[in-house]
Amino acid sequence: MTAAVAFLVLLAALAAWWLYGQRLMSRPWLAAGIVEDTGGLAHMPAAKVGLGVFLAVVGALFSLFLSAYTMRMQLADWSALPVPRILWVTTLLILLASAALVWAVRSARRGEKERALDGLLAATGFGSAFLGGQLIAWDELAGSGYRLADNAANSFFYVLTGLHGAHILGGLVALVAVTVKLWRSPDAAAAQLPVELCALYWHFLALVWLVLFAVITGWAGDFLAVCRQLLS
């Protein structure tokens, strides 16, 4: 459960940092009167905070899956599957989608509606291509005889990529909705927040994918082994 606990420690540190600014040591009975709220979140839109909390939940979900993965991996019958080449392409695609969204956010902030639309469309395109690539990877593996129930490594591969793909699919739906909204609205400013939310969600999923990819290829394990050697 190391991955899950590590993720929660990270969240706890963030929470502690925020609580630190909330005057938890103050004696609330002493001061009657108006106290303006302090703390960094006060002026953020609720939707953004909400998305942040949601991403924490998604992060917990994937970190728990990774914990299960690492625990299951240590058992005797584990046999890692070959990494389909196409995953390199899809990794590039998801990063391109992220980059396109960075572009879209910038343009939306500047009020450049057309450019923002371009960014969103590109991201939708790259995102769909990513999903298609993942499906091709599934097809390839299944074709070469790596079926779901043959080995736990296969099972984890399909379940993890499937779960990630489902989140990507949700992101794509949101992207299309925001694209339509921006396209219909007279100026880019109105859609600025939704575009930012899409970008945040997408960057997070891209990060999750990078971690998953590193774990599936075995680099994460190698990296940790090297770290351990350096420490000992």
Partner 1 sequence: MADVPLDRVAETAATEVEDLTLHHPHSWLTRYVFSQDAKTISIQYTVTALAIGFIALFLSWLMRLQLGFPGTFAFIDAAAYYQLITMHGMMMIVYVLTAVLLGGFGNYLIPLMVGARDMVFPYANMLSYWFYLLAVVILLASFFAPGGPTGAGWTLYPPQAILSGTPGQESGIILMLVSLIVFIAGFTMGGLNYVVTVLQGRTRGMTLMRMPLTVWGIFTASVMALLAFPALFVASVMMLFDKIFGTSFFMPSLIELGTPLDYGGGSPILFQHLFWFFGHPEVYIVALPAFGIVSDLIATHARRNIFGYRMMVWAILAIGALSFVVWAHHMYVSGMNPWFGFFFATTTLIIAVPTAIKVYNWILTLWRGDIHLTVPMLFALGFIVTFVNGGLSGLFLGNVVVDVPLSDTMFVVAHFHMVMGIAPVLVIFGAIYHWYPKVTGRMMNEALGKLHFWITFLGTYAIFFPMHYLGLLGVPRRYHEMGEASFFPASAQMLNAYITVLALVVGAAQLLFLFNLIWSIRHGREAGGNPWRATSLEWQTPETPPPHGNWGREQPTVYRWAYDYNVPGVAQDFIPQNMPPEAVPLGPRPAPGGMS
Chain residues that interact with partner 1, rule: CB under 8 A? 1, 4-5, 8, 11-12, 15, 19, 22-29, 32-38, 41-42, 44, 46-47, 49-50, 53-54, 56-57, 60-61, 64-65, 67-68, 71-72, 75-78, 148-149, 152, 155-156, 159, 163
What are 193's two structure tokens? 């927040």
Q: Exposed, middle or buried, 68 (CB in 10 Å: 0-12/13-18/19+)?
A: middle
Q: Which is nearer to partner 1, 24 or 230 (CB)?
A: 24
Closest CB 57 distance from partner 1, rounded Å: 5
Q: Write down the least CB distance from residue 168 to partner 1, Å.
A: 17
Q: Which is nearer to partner 1, 78 or 219 (CB)?
A: 78
Contacts of range 132-139, beta carbons closer than 8 Å, 24 or more positions apart = 133/86, 133/87, 133/89, 133/90, 133/93, 134/87, 134/90, 134/161, 134/165, 136/84, 136/86, 137/84, 137/86, 137/87, 137/90, 137/161
Closer residue to partner 1 (CB): 53 or 231: 53
Evaluate whether 183 touches 121 at the Cβ level (below 8 Å): no
- Supply the minimum distance, in Å, between the C-beta of residue 22 and partner 1: 5
213/207 Cα distance (integer angstroms):
10
Question: Whose Cβ is closer to partner 1: residue 79's or residue 226's?
Answer: 79
Least CB distance from residue 103 to partner 1, whole Å?
Answer: 28
Closest CB to partner 1 among residues 47, 225:
47
- Short-list 137, 97, 128, CA closest to 217: 137
